[in-house]
Amino acid sequence: MQFKDYYEILGVATDADLKAIKTSYRKLARQYHPDVSQELGAEERFKEVTEAYEVLKDASKRSEYDQLRHQYDGASNFQPPPGWQSTSAFHEGSDAQYAQGFSDFFESLFGGGHGGGFADFRDSARRGSDVEVELPVFLEETLGETTKTITYELPQAQEDGRITLVSKKLNIKIPVGVIDGERIRVPGQASPGIGDAPSGDLYLSIRLVPHPLFDVEGHDLIITVPIAPWEAALGTKVNIPTLDGEITMTVPTGTQTGSRLRVRGKGLAGKQGRGDLYAVLKVVMPDRDGASIDEQWRMLAISCDFDARANWRD
């Protein structure tokens, strides 16, 4: 595995004091935190920085690391010296979980595995960790109660203290009217507890799948409906789809492009009943298909005394 130069990662001198290390960490953490940074690779960089800080801020980890760094001969494939055992490895469950995203390098120095470390927390009873799973839901499915089968992976502590992923399947009733981003708690369906402690909870984070026709705005739906110029002028009846069947909608005379017609109660389900469906009308020009049509437009232009740009630049 690759040797990690934690000093270089944090951009501090090898004799930097704790204050300088903290300052540099905070600055880099703000720069690369995945919640804050839009930079490519920020998350990886952030993990690296956290890992470096985890070691350098702790006097005993740092001195153990310094010792290894001193002995390291620059070989591309680093291995800890035979019989290496850290005296400052993580012992608490929460810390061990926190360190899950760290590199193999870190794991080989301060982690559990064969050397102890993480293994210690198997002895004490501990509540299983919660798990969050994203659940894609189609708009049609939000109108009534739906059952979905979900498959998800759970981190589970093994006998030797190592953590592996175990696949799990579950049938879930999705309540009526879920919205995008909603979180649903399913108690006790995440990682089993250790000892007598209870299992963790499963959290489903609802994601509404984008629909080819409908856009979502709160509990309302929006559909764009193309109409011909003469339909806009003279009015017409148009069949439009809704989430639960087709309906006929009346387009009034003199309709402008972009005007919205409301169809009550055909939106998404909500606590106060269903939202509305808005049809946004879009006047579409026909393809030019011949001189006779052009002639009719020309006659229209003459008979219809209309300047589309009359109030344009006022």
Partner 1 sequence: MADIPKSSFDLVQFCAAIGITAEVIIEIVEIGIIEPPGSRPEDWIFDAHMLGTTRHAIQLQRDLQVDWAGIALALNLIEERNRLQREVHHLRARLERFIDQAKD
Q: Would you tell me which residues interact with partner 1 (CB under 8 A)?
A: 22, 25-26, 29-30, 33, 35-36, 46, 50, 94, 98, 127, 130, 132, 147, 170-175, 183-187, 189, 201, 203, 210, 215-217, 222, 224, 226, 258, 280, 282, 284
Nearer to partner 1, 6 or 115 (CB): 6
Give me the amino acid identity at 16.
A
CB 228, CB 221: distance < 8 Å: no
Q: How many residues does the chain have?
A: 314
CB 232, CB 286: distance < 8 Å: no
How far, in whole angstroms, is CA 39 from its chain's centroid? 16
Helices (H) and strands (E) in the chain, counts: 8, 13
Nearer to partner 1, 217 or 295 (CB): 217
First CA to last CA distance, the chain: 70
For the CB of residue 15, give the shortest distance to partner 1 in the complex, in Å: 22
For the CB of residue 282, give the shortest distance to partner 1 in the complex, in Å: 6
For the CB of residue 153, give the shortest distance to partner 1 in the complex, in Å: 17
For the CB of residue 294, give the shortest distance to partner 1 in the complex, in Å: 20
Alpha-carbon distance of 259 to 67, in angstroms, equals: 73
In sequence order, the 6+-apart residues with CB closer than 8 A to the CB of 243 are 139, 140, 143, 214, 221, 266, 268
Nearer to partner 1, 132 or 295 (CB): 132
Torsion of Cα atoms, 141 then 147 then 150 then 155, to 10° = 120
* Rg of the chain, C-alpha, whole Å: 31
Alpha-carbon distance of 136 to 209, in angstroms, equals: 6
For the CB of residue 275, give the shortest distance to partner 1 in the complex, in Å: 15
For the CB of residue 44, give the shortest distance to partner 1 in the complex, in Å: 14
CB 172, CB 186: distance < 8 Å: yes
